[in-house]
Structure 1
């Protein structure tokens, strides 16, 4: 697996990004990409407005940044920044967790793509596909055979993208406020 700040140089084409592996001290380079993803998530989850109100962008980044720093302290975690012409155009944050005695036959360790973000102006240009390919290559080098991720319900473009890259739905996470649990006549 690549070490932090290791650079993988791709052949010089506009379509293929260059990858840089970030350390925790470099995580602020992801802020604008996270904020764009946060805005997108808010726009596609309007069906949840009455249940879970989103936090503002700055608070969202503060929370996510803290998680990224925490995750990067664990072995195997990767923060991969995709760059074109020196500009960050997308990133993947991938963690590794043990998977022993689960309900399905899987490897001893499972990779979790915690975040895959591509700048809006670089979507549909191969950045997301290149990031997933780089993630898979790194994980295969580590002997990891299973990768999972979550997509926000309502983000149909992302779900279609993931399905085109071999992901299939496994479970659905349902959310509810406790006050919403009361049934008719309660």
Structure 2
């Protein structure tokens, strides 16, 4: 096994990360990962975790066939059922239209320091 595979196995086994896969003809053709991020409790705010969406990929020969939309739909259903009211993602330029169609919007309250 390589480092990435070890890392993924450990995170999925610990339930700190969740993953969805898409299959076609018995082979995995796509995946997306979700990491619930706890918020520090505040007495007057909603303290539900937010979700960090990452590592979203569909093999090129299976793109534009609904696999990506299905993965995001399953992830969003789980997030809503778990009480997550915010999902964040750093999309690739190519994936932005798919995220927009799936209900993601550009934030108005986010700052970043690099």
Q: Same fold (TM over 0.5)?
A: yes
Please state how far the C-alpha of 1:72 moved relative to its aligned partner: 1.7
**Aligned counterpart, 1:93:** 33
Q: Normalising to structure 2: TM-score of the pair? A: 0.76
**Aligned counterpart, 1:163:** 100
1:149 partnered with 2:86: no
Contact 2:41 2:47 (8 Å CA) reproduced: no
Equivalent position SS for 1:168: coil
For structure 1, the 5+ residue unaligned runs are 1-27, 29-61, 176-186
Structure whose CA Rg is larger: 1
Please state how far the C-alpha of 1:116 moved relative to its aligned partner: 0.9
Q: 2:67 aligns with which of 108, 111, 127?
A: 127
Report runs of 4+ in structure 1 exceeding 6 Å deviation: none
Q: Deviations over 1:55-83 (max 9, x none)?
A: xxxxxxx4543442342244352121111
Q: Which structure: greater strand fraction?
A: 2
**CA RMSD after TM alignment:** 2.6
Q: Normalising to structure 1: TM-score of the pair? A: 0.50
**Aligned counterpart, 1:136:** 76
Evaluate the alpha carbon distance shift between residue 120 and residue 109 of structure 1 in structure 2; reply closer, same or farther with a 3 A threshold: same
Equivalent position SS for 1:89: strand
1:75 partnered with 2:15: yes
CA–CA distance in 2 between the matches of 1:67 and 1:163? 30
CA–CA distance in 1 between the matches of 2:47 and 2:22? 28
1:117 partnered with 2:57: yes
Q: Which structure: greater helix fraction?
A: 1
Contact 1:80 1:93 (8 Å CA) reproduced: yes
Contact 1:106 1:146 (8 Å CA) reproduced: no
Equivalent position SS for 2:95: helix
CA–CA distance in 1 between the matches of 2:12 and 2:29? 20
For structure 2, the 5+ residue unaligned runs are none
Contact 1:100 1:108 (8 Å CA) reproduced: no
